[in-house]
Amino acid sequence: MAAAIVVGALFGIAGFLPLVAGLRMTRRVTDTSNLGHAGALLLGVLVSVIVIFAAAIACVALARDLVLPFVLAEVAALCIAAVAFGFSKLVRK
């Protein structure tokens, strides 16, 4: 069960990385770009959701009895990564 929690936390952090990439893409978007600010952020959200759900579905297929700790660790790590990212941005400014 500890391995499922660790792997879930790793996938939770991996699910947060596309959101950071989408945020960085918004800085490079010009006014005449086809990919607007909202499009870049929505693309990051889409890839993040795909990563999270694909990992959860793989866990269901491989080890059904470990799904609950895996998914809870995944969601907790995603939330903690988001709070840590926001806090680090706040402290830098």
Q: What is the domain count for the chain?
A: 1
Residue 78 has pLDDT above 80, yes or no: yes
Task: Please answer whether residues 65 and 6 qualify as being in contact, where contact means their C-beta atoms are separated by less than 8 angstroms.
Answer: no
Q: What is the CA radius of gyration of the chain?
A: 15
- Chain-wide mean pLDDT for the chain? 91
The range of the structural domain enclosing residue 84 comes to 2-92
Residue 41 class from Cβ within 10 Å (0-12 exposed, 13-18 middle, 19+ buried)? middle
pLDDT higher than threshold 90 for residue 36: no
Q: Which whole number is the average pLDDT over 62-89?
A: 95
| pLDDT in the model for residue 90 | 93
pTM listed for this prediction = 0.84
Report the C-alpha gap between 78 and 10 in whole angstroms.
Answer: 9
Position 25 scores a pLDDT of: 86
Helices (H) and strands (E) in the chain, counts: 3, 0
Give residue 28's pLDDT band: very low, low, confident or very high (50, 70, 90): confident
Which pLDDT belongs to residue 40? 84
